[in-house]
Structure 1
């Protein structure tokens, strides 16, 4: 059984102990061509597709997306709204405590790399308190770091009307390891005046839908296995680079943004 939490009434949950999928994203710049809610849209889409795959196997509820995250590395661009690591961690901590009064398990489906450190800390605290909770990152295999081909393709697959294709430009395409020192020193604006790290050229809606379905397949498999590591991460570590860039910049700077 699967449902959207926003659509149910409380009596419908009295005899249930569902797994709650909580999508968490950001409101931050994604270049001149992608909307500010790109990370939130991807997390929400992956959670919804995963719930559709598992609805005949287990009791699932998809919570409303949390649209604000820790995005301080993008605050050089108008439109970015960051609540910082401390606030995000507390939000996840108290949300988890509240949800798990009536839910059986909680999985945070994360769409933004800058959220990783506070998410991991909050989940670790919840698990230490005896709650069955984990987090999972939306990282398409082989994706570029930010607002490049992968994210542009996924948004073309989700909301093509929100993609300003004519405004798409390439940003630095060096390996992220070569950019990290500059990212730490100057944040994203200092490395890429457009906000893009990667190249959106060749982005395609069908490719984007495939990436979303691939992530949903992976998440569904990880939920079935439900193996959680010491950092509260469900399943095996992701191999893509995109979702890790902001988190690596933040943790290296050692600041709350």
Structure 2
């Protein structure tokens, strides 16, 4: 069920029976010369809406702009400051609790959001208002990602490229795959410029890659994207069903020993 497409009486019927919501979040930021800046939030929304369709749970509108200042040097990247993002997501989630939702899955597709969503979840849980957890699609299927791609890369690589070929292939610039690979970093694990003596020495993506890409996109296909999407969606469905079955008091903080 997609919240924005329903009437308030229809939503009242949902809230009378259910208390779980899926909130998709991503970013609007550079993903190299081959992928649109909507990549992250399109992946999050596609997964959340499909999982909602399969389970009957509620999916909210997508939060399209996240914490992305580390991509700011590339044209068009949008971001909000971390504190603003946390406060906004918390306020939105408290809005859901007003309607009776007490458990939320942040369906996330942007690494820069992770720690901030975890912090929001802690705030809500500590206050006893809701149990909200962050879910990152590729972290739910790490073995499959590794099996499908030799150089999957953390940003703009073949896993995101394959997903976008499956979700919105008309937005993927397939003629730019080789440029993205050659002007970026194919294998980040072997890249020595990112660390010195155990310390991370970079703050922005452009410190490492002139085209903003890490990974080898030439290994991405629509078929692999479909496989990734189905596997990740299955994990999200299972998570939602598990969370729905939990007693609320078991999700709240335990008493001091």
TM bracket, shorter-chain basis: 0.7 to 0.9
Aligned to 1:196: 213
Cα-Cα RMSD: 2.1
Aligned to 2:110: 112
Q: Does residue 92 in structure 1 map to residue 89 in structure 2?
A: yes
1:221 to 212, 221, 238: 238
The question of whether the paired residues in 2 share the 8 Å contact of 1:100 and 1:106 is answered with: no
Shift of the alpha carbon at 1:186?
A: 4.7
Shift of the alpha carbon at 1:52?
A: 2.5
After superposition, the Cα gap between the structure-2 partners of 1:103 and 1:207, relative to the gap in structure 1 and judged at 3 Å, is: farther
Q: Does residue 14 in structure 1 map to residue 12 in structure 2?
A: yes
**TM-score normalised according to structure 1 size:** 0.81
Give the Cα separation in 2 of the matches to 1:184 and 1:29: 21
Please, which runs of 5 or more residues in structure 1 have no aligned partner?
A: 233-257
1:156 to 165, 171, 174: 165
3-state DSSP of counterpart to 1:109: strand
Aligned to 1:68: 65
After superposition, the Cα gap between the structure-2 partners of 1:179 and 1:93, relative to the gap in structure 1 and judged at 3 Å, is: farther
After superposition, the Cα gap between the structure-2 partners of 1:177 and 1:106, relative to the gap in structure 1 and judged at 3 Å, is: farther
Which structure features the higher share of helix residues?
Answer: 2
Give the Cα separation in 1 of the matches to 2:3 and 2:201: 39
After superposition, the Cα gap between the structure-2 partners of 1:179 and 1:88, relative to the gap in structure 1 and judged at 3 Å, is: farther
Shift of the alpha carbon at 1:47?
A: 0.7
State the number of aligned residues.
223
3-state DSSP of counterpart to 2:13: coil
Q: Deviations over 1:112-170 (max 9, x none)?
A: 00001111111110111111322211215234211111111111111111011111221
Aligned to 1:253: none
Report the more deviating stretch, 189-198 or 10-19. Answer: 10-19
Give the Cα separation in 2 of the matches to 1:177 and 1:126: 39
3-state DSSP of counterpart to 1:201: helix
Give the Cα separation in 2 of the matches to 1:42 and 1:176: 28
Q: Does residue 24 in structure 1 map to residue 31 in structure 2?
A: no
**TM-score normalised according to structure 2 size:** 0.81
The question of whether the paired residues in 2 share the 8 Å contact of 1:29 and 1:36 is answered with: yes
Aligned to 2:123: 125
Q: Deviations over 1:54-110 (max 9, x none)?
A: 23xxxx111111100000111110110011211110011101111111142221111
Give the Cα separation in 2 of the matches to 1:221 and 1:8: 25
Give the Cα separation in 2 of the matches to 1:184 and 1:213: 37
After superposition, the Cα gap between the structure-2 partners of 1:203 and 1:196, relative to the gap in structure 1 and judged at 3 Å, is: same
Aligned to 1:235: none
